[in-house]
Amino acid sequence: MRFGLILPSFSFPDLDYVKAARLREFAVRAEALGYEALWVVEHLLTARGLYGTAWLSPLETVSFAAGCTSRIELATGILIAALRNPVFVAKDIASLQYLSGGRFELGIGVGWDAHEYEVAGVPLRQRGGRTDEILEIFARLWTGEPVTHHGRYYRFDDVVIDPPLPQKPFLWLAGGSKIKTDLSPDPEVMAPTVLERICRHADGWLARAAGSMESVIGDWRQIQQRLDAIGRPRDSVTFGHVNFMHIVPTDDEAAALRVQRPLIERVMGAHRSFETLRTCYLLGTPTQIRARLKEMAEAGLEYAALSPLDYDVEQLDLWEEEIVRHFRQL
């Protein structure tokens, strides 16, 4: 299994310049430890009652990470493209790809926060259709050829993006089942449109963290079956998963959870029960977390992008000792 580090680019109320600067330490340390990529999360706004924080702007943060490093890949996990003008985003990504030496991988999802869509002037119900149209636009614009597009949501004439890209970025698409909550409009199961988008377009699938281990594995089975149905090889899509983790080096479950609970509730909010948070996220002892990852790896998980819950760079050494080294050969 391969591992990526999600940078802790939280925009907590107590964020200051010193905490923000710690992202450089995380980036440099992750590259030294051999992580596959540095990832960034996007939430434009703090979704009150759903999360306890927003995150710093994704493309700016990943550009910062590119300047701190020289080899490690860089990725959005995820960029909510439908909140933006696709021509501007295509230009931003092309610029980032050149400035990073071709290290950028594009992770896209449709998002779910109605407030974010409201302030962007985009109806939430259009998020899927806009995302599909944006994927088509990106593929054409990055060729460097003049593009005229008259679609359902976007219209422009004779647009050329310079510089053209030698090849499109590796495309991660997110989505899937989740544990039901009244505060999110998403269904509990993977929507057929999401399944089709992944199977038709993705190089990699990012399973969401808001589901259970069983739902993630079930979603992967659906994806494999749909790949078979459309005649696409199963190994043409990488099975990835994003999640959050804080390692407490103990075999005492209660002791580990006492440390982890305030950290996970600060990031995720407390509207969900702690048992639900335990079901979704990587909490408990190192042995329990390894067992959960091992079960998903046996079901096909190839890539885990994991986020710390605070700004403690020393967590990366604990991750290496307690988790990562046990999976290098899987």
260: domain CATH number is 3.20.20.30
Domain that holds residue 94: 2-327
CA-nearest of 67, 82, 21, 22 to 308 is: 22
What pLDDT does 270 receive?
A: 84
Structurally, the chain folds into a number of domains equal to 1
Q: What is the pTM of this model?
A: 0.95
What pLDDT does 49 receive?
A: 64
What are 32-44's pLDDT values in tens digits? 999 999 999 999 9
What pLDDT does 48 receive?
A: 72
Give residue 47's pLDDT band: very low, low, confident or very high (50, 70, 90). confident
What are 296-325's pLDDT values in tens digits? 999 999 999 999 999 999 999 999 999 999
Quote the radius of gyration of the chain (alpha carbons, Å): 19
User: And the tokens for 315?
Assistant: 């967590």
User: Is 70 exceeded by the pLDDT of residue 69?
Assistant: yes
What pLDDT does 58 receive?
A: 97
What pLDDT does 51 receive?
A: 82
What pLDDT does 236 receive?
A: 98
Least confident stretch, 49-53, 103-107, 267-271: 49-53
User: Is 70 exceeded by the pLDDT of residue 184?
Assistant: no
3-class DSSP assignment, residue 219: helix
Instruction: Give 122-191 as a DSSP string.
Output: --GGGHHHHHHHHHHHHHHHTTTS-EEEE-SS-EEEEE--SSPPSSPPPEEEE-------TT--S-SS--
